[in-house]
Amino acid sequence: MPHECPACGETFNTLSRLRLHDCPTDEPESEDPLSSFDAFLDSISDALDSNMQQRSSERKKRGLEAASDGLKTTLEEAAQGDVDAAFGLIGRYERELREYHDREDYDTYRGILWAFYEPAAAALDEIATREGWDFLTEVIDAYSRENTAEETLVSPFIENVVGRHVIRTRLNDGVAAIPVEALVYLGSFWESTGDVSGEESLTYGWGIGHPEHSVADHVQEVVTEELFWVRGVLPHTFYADQHAAADLLDALLTDEQIDYEDRCLLASILATVDHDSTPKIPRYWDLREELDYRFEFDEAVRSRLRETIETEGFHRRLGEDWTFSDMEI
């Protein structure tokens, strides 16, 4: 009596052969290779994130262990709103960073930098918000940036607080209310020797359209010397005033004195702006939470910039139905 496999329909003379046959329906469904590869990439990314977080935690722990009791005490006092303690905090922070930096003990230097960065910026920002711009003027004067060779190591967290002040002032009181000294200070870091200080100065873009200080002119002056600083500033100009920012970007993209590939890089900032509705700089501060800020492209601005990009040919490497997001590099 023949025996039929209910799954595949094949028949066998004996029950043993039925049980032993290689039924194709027993094979597991093949996985989508792209899905499997994506999962593999995700696992690598998760592992890297975990490793980076562990290293960051270890670095901060090293910094806290190396820092003096005096630095920790002045931070606590500054966090309670003591203005004199705030100046003492900056001074101690600078001295201890300098000590390990000059010793070329860069692990400890970075440990102290990042262990105290967020709480020191928060303490200084709270005092600046209460005391006003005059307080930050004193800070800038005491730790001014005369030249790249003499850049103070606490500059990044001072820039961070100045950047917060610039953004708050613009959104609350308008661009004209931004102190010119704040823009001059941030704009001076365009050739910074430190990656962190260069990044924190990108909030300079929020001064676009200021009646007494031309952010656009400064950006156009330095673009061929420090393309990547300009590329970092440009998204902030859009967050501040997308119409003025579009004027500036249009001028840069059509400037034939700038290398064509460099202009392509500048055009790619539109992907950043399109993806991120809020900036990531200043560090450790969310202006969405404090100021309920959101960015959305004006369709007239989007259309105008698309036209410029197509006229200049920056879209040729993209698909037919390209968007700003496709311009990411």
Average pLDDT of the chain, as a whole number: 83
Say whether pLDDT at 31 is over 60.
no
Token pair belonging to 128: 């600046």
Token pair belonging to 108: 């400890």
pTM recorded for the entire structure: 0.80
Token pair belonging to 155: 């500059």
Q: What is the pLDDT of residues 230-274, one digit of tens each?
A: 999 999 999 999 999 999 999 999 998 999 889 888 988 888 888
Token pair belonging to 157: 């967290």
Which of 86-100, 102-116, 200-214, 277-291 is predicted with the least confidence, judged by mean pLDDT?
277-291
Overall size of the chain counted in residues: 329
> If DSSP codes are grouped into helix, strand and coil, which group holds residue 12?
strand
Contact assessment for residue 3 and residue 11, using Cβ atoms and an 8 Å cutoff: yes
Contact assessment for residue 250 and residue 237, using Cβ atoms and an 8 Å cutoff: no
Q: How far is CA 206 from CA 189, 238, 288, in A?
A: 15, 8, 15
Burial letters 184-218, b for 16+ CB under 10 A, else e: ebbbbbbebeeebbbbbbbbbbbbbbbeebebbeb
Say whether pLDDT at 12 is over 90.
no
- pLDDT for res 315: 80
Say whether pLDDT at 119 is over 90.
yes
- The DSSP secondary structure of 256-269, one letter per residue, reads TTS-HHHHHHHHTH
- pLDDT for res 146: 62
Please name the residues in contact with 114: beta carbons below 8 A apart, sequence gap of 6 or more. 56, 59, 60, 63
Q: What is the pLDDT of residues 36-94, one digit of tens each?
A: 555 555 555 455 445 556 666 777 888 888 888 999 999 999 999 999 999 999 999 99
Say whether pLDDT at 32 is over 60.
no
- pLDDT for res 280: 83
| 299-325: average pLDDT | 83
- pLDDT for res 28: 46
Token pair belonging to 5: 């496999």
